[in-house]
Amino acid sequence: MSNLKNIRSQRGLSQSKLAELSGVNLRMIQYYEQGVKDINSAQANTLYQLAKVLECNIEDLLERDV
């Protein structure tokens, strides 16, 4: 499970609610959670908006190589 999905679930937010509150496109949130798009390559503003709504650090959203 992606860090974004994990944190979003812990906060009790749906993907569509996160999109609404953050201003980030719902499709992009889906792509980041599914790994279709690499969240580590997301624009800084996108990461900032997601982190602000989720009340976490930007670093918490990034995926680390195993």
Q: Is the dihedral of CA 21, 12, 51, 55 positive or negative?
A: positive
pTM of the model: 0.94
pLDDT at 66: 55
Cβ burial of 21 (10 Å; 0-12, 13-18, 19+) is: middle
For the chain, helix (H) and strand (E) counts, in that order, are 5, 0
pLDDT (tens digit per residue) in 2-56: 999 999 999 999 999 999 999 999 999 999 999 999 999 999 999 999 999 999 9
